[in-house]
A and B are shown apart, each in its own frame.
Chain A
Amino acid sequence: MANPTEKPEPIPSTPKLEPKDEREELEDINGGEEEEEEYEDEDDGKPRTREDAIADRIKAESLFRRMRETPVAVRVHDVIVKGNEKTKDHVIEAEVDVLRQATTLQELLKASKVANFNLQALDIFDAVKITLDSGPPELPGTTNVVIDVVESKSPFTGQVGTFTKAEARSSSLEGSLKYKNIFGYGDIWDGSLAYGCDHSTEVGLGMCLPRFRGRPTPFTSRVYLSTQDWLKFSSYKERALGLSLGLIASKYHELAYNIAWRNVIDPSQMASRSIRRQLGHNLVSALKYTFKFDQRNSSLRPTRGYSFISTSQIGGLAPDSRTLRFLRQEIDLRYAVPLGFYRAALNFGVAGGITFPWGSEYKSKASCIPERFFLGGNISPVCSLGGPSALWGFKTRGLGPNESRREVQDNESGDTYERDFVGGDVAVTAFADLSFDFPVKWFRDRGIHGHVFACAGNMAELSENKYRNFTATKFLETFRSSVGAGIVVPTSLFRMEINYCHILKKQEHDRAKSGFFMTFSTPS
C-alpha cells in the first residue's frame, strides 16, 4: 500500500448523451453554440442574399426529411484541421479517427459529437468547432470535415479540489498548477501539492500524454515526494520518493507501475515491537491492475445500479531480489436498490482484501506494514469504492491487531494512546445504508437527505506464521459492528455526513465510541 501514487481523478463532467432531433444534433456538434445550419454548400465568396438563404433553408429541410426516412449514405473524403498553431495535426486527427469510419450521415453526426468530446477532453483547447462541408464536386456523396480549434491562450491553469485517495483512506485537499501543450503533443504538465486529513503531504510533478507512440490510451507519469504521519496511531512515519507510470487507462481497465524509495521511521521512539522491526528503507517496485465496473447512477448518492472493483498488486518486480516482495488483492462490490418513495434507496456493500509476502520463507516473513489493511477513518463507506476502508464510528486506524508501545513512566503522557495498531493481512467489511429524502422541499432542493446505516468489519494477521492461529470461527466472533443514522449534506466539493453512531460490538483497545461523528468524502 500506502503509496499515494495515483493521481486522483477530479469530479468528472460527463456530457448528456440523450437522443435528440437531427437538427438539434447538428447544433450540438459545436458544444451548444447557436448555429442554425451546419451543412453548407461550398462558399465561393459571393455575398449571400435573402433568396440564397431561403434556398439553402429549403435544401436543408429536404435533407432532414430524407434523413428521417432512410439512412443517407455519405463518405468522409478529407479531414481538415484549422486553428492549431502549436498542436501537431496528428494529435488532433488521432482523436477524430472515429469520423472516417462513418458510412451514413446519421453516423457521421454521432461521430462528430464523439470527436468533439474527445478533443474537448484533451483539455488544451478553449473551443472546438466541427463543420461538415460538401466534398469535391467530382466525387458525389462525399463530405469534408473541417475542424476548427482555438488553442488555450493561457497555457497555465490552476486548480484546487478535494479528493479521496484510496491508499491514504482519507480525504485530501489538493492544489495544482498545470502547464498545457508545451510541445504541441497535447502534453499536460502539472505540479501539485496535496494535504490530507491524516497529516499526509505530497508534492508531485506529473506529465500526461494523450497519444504516446500510437497507443490508444493516455500515458501518464508522475514523480512524487510524500510523507504520511501515522505517529499517533501506529508510531511510524512514512516517506516515499517515487515514480509512477500510468500504462493503460481505459473505461474498465487501469494498469500502473510504481517504483519508490520508501523510508519508515519512528522519531518518537515509542513504537511497538512489530513496528520497530520494520523501520528502515525499502525499494518498492510494483505493478497494479485495477478493473472497475461502475453502473451506479451516482457515486455520491447511488440510488440504482451496481459496481464492482478489483485491484491487484504485485511488488518485487525487479531483477534485484532485495526489493519489497508482496501480493495484494482487494475487491469491492456494491449494489443499490431503489425503493420508490422519497427517492429512497438501499445500498449494500461488501469489501475484502488480503496481502501476503512472497519469495523464500514467505510464511514466516512479516508483511510490510504500509501494505497492510487499516480500517476506520473519517470517510463514508458509501463513497469510498476501492476496498475495505472505513467503518462508521471507528476512528482512523481504530481497530484490528494492536500491540503495546514502549513503556513510559511519565504521567504527562497519560492522555496519549498506549497501543499501536499494526494493521491486518486480511480485512473484510460490509455495510447497508438506507437513504431517503426529507419531506421538506428546502432540503430536497439542495440534495440534503437522511440515512440509516449498519456496518461490520474485521481484520486479522496471517504473516509471520500467524495464519496457523487463524480460524474462521474466531474471525467471525471478533467482528466489529455499528449502527446509526444521520444527515447527508452534499456540497460541490465533497459529501459531508453528520451521523450518530452506536457501537454494537467492539474489541478491547478499539478506538471507537458511540456518539456524533462527521465524515467527509469525495467520489472515488
Chain B
Amino acid sequence: MEGDQETEVYTLVARKPSFDLPTACPNCLPAYIYLKLAQLPFELAFNSTFPDSDELPYFESGTYVAYNNEDGGVIEKLKKDGIVNLDSQLQSLPDYLSLKALIVSWLEEALTYEIWVGTEGISTTKIYYSDLPWVISKVLFYKQTYLAKNRLGITKENAEQREKQIYKRASEAYEALSTRLGEQKFLFEDRPSSLDAFLLSHMLFIIQALPVTSVLRCKLLEHSNLVRYAEKLKSEFLEASSSSPSPPLHSFPSSFPRKSSKPKGKPKVEKTEEEKKFKKRARFFLAAQFLAVVVYVSVMGGGSSEELEYEDED
C-alpha cells in the first residue's frame, strides 16, 4: 500500500488539460504553478467528473490530503503544513497583503464573471464537461452559472452596473500590477511567491482559454509588460519539462510536522460525540422494543411458515 513515509509521491489532482494549459481549470492552475515555481517534483492526476466540487484541486501524499476547501485553499494549507512555503519572508512586507487582496478578490471576481457571464460560458465545456454526458453537463452548467452569479451578487436589476464595476476594478488592478511589476522577473524582487502563482495563472488562463472577443482579455493585453512577464515565467517554469533538477528555491523538511487536519471544527466534533451516544442509546431502546413486538407476533402468529410452502405444478 502507498503511504510509506520514505518514498512519498506528491500528487496534485486537478481538472483536465485543455487550451494548451496543463490544467484548464482556473481554480486548479494556481496550485499547479505554485508547485512548479517551488520546483517540487510532483505527479499530476485528473478528475474529470466533478465540475461542481470545491474540493478540487487537492494535493495528496500517502494518507496526507490537502483539499482546496479547507484552511483557505490548497496553497495556504501547503504553507501551513510546511510542505512548501514560498512566502515565508514576504508575509511581513507591507504591500504583500494589499497585492494579495487585489489578486484574490478583484481579479478573481473578474475572471469568474468573464467565464460564466461575460463570454456566456463558451470555454466551460472544455474545462469542466468534456468527459460528462450531455444531459449532466447541461444541468451542471446551469447550476454553476447560477451559483457564480449568486457569488458575484448579480441580479437582473444590477447586472449592468455590476458588470461595469467588475471591469473597472479589473482595469485598475491591471494598471496597479503593471506599475508595481515594471520589468522585474517576479512581483517581489527575484524570488517567486504564491502571488506570482495566482497572477500567472490568471493571465495564462485569460490569454489562452478565453475567446479573443473577451473584454477582460482585451484589457489585459493592453499591458505589455504583464504579458511579457507571463510568457517569461511560462517558458521557464512550465515548459521546461526535462530540465535538470535545480536546487529548490526554498528548503522544506523531509517529513512534514504533524498538524491536525480535522475536516470539521472542534465544537462540532464534540457535538457529534454526544449525538453518537444518544443515537446508540436510542438504537438499543428501539431494538428492545422491536424484539418484544416480534416475539409477541411470533407467539401469536402461530404457523405462519406453513402458508409460505406451496407445491408447484408444471
Contact = CB atoms under 8 A, between A and B. Distances in A.
Interface of A: 11, 14, 16-18, 261, 268-270, 273, 276-277, 279-283, 295, 297-301, 318, 320, 322-323, 403-410, 412-413, 445-448, 489-493, 496, 523
B259 interface: yes
B136 interface: yes
A409 B47 CA distance: 27
B66 to A, nearest CB: 10
Interface residues on B, range: 35 or more
Interface string B14-38: 0000000000000000000000000
A412 B298 contact: no
Contacts of A279: 47, 49-50, 53, 55
Contacts of B273: 412
A445 to B, nearest CB: 6
Given A320-B133, A410-B260, A412-B273, A404 B308 contact: no
Interface in B292-306: 294-295, 297-299, 301-306
Contacts, number: 125
B65 interface: yes
A276 B136 contact: no
Nearest to A402: B1
Given A408-B261, A410-B262, A273 B2 contact: yes
A282 B60 contact: no
B135 interface: yes
Chain B interface main SS type: loop
Given A277-B13, A410-B269, 18 more contacts: A16-B311, A261-B135, A261-B136, A269-B65, A269-B70, A282-B49, A295-B312, A297-B309, A298-B308, A301-B308, A323-B133, A403-B1, A406-B64, A407-B261, A446-B298, A489-B298, A491-B294, A492-B301
B269 A11 contact: no
Contacts of B134: 320
A466 B140 CA distance: 34
B53 A405 contact: no
B255 to A, nearest CB: 13
B133 A276 contact: no
Nearest to B63: A407
B284 interface: no
A300 B308 contact: yes
Interface in B55-70: 55, 58, 60, 62-65, 67, 70
A261 B259 CA distance: 38
A409 B132 contact: no
20 contacts: A16-B310, A261-B136, A269-B263, A276-B58, A281-B49, A283-B132, A297-B309, A301-B305, A318-B133, A322-B132, A404-B3, A406-B65, A408-B262, A409-B262, A412-B273, A446-B301, A446-B303, A490-B305, A491-B304, A492-B301
10 nearest CB pairs, A to B: A280-B49, A447-B305, A280-B50, A407-B63, A409-B260, A283-B133, A269-B263, A320-B133, A490-B305, A322-B133
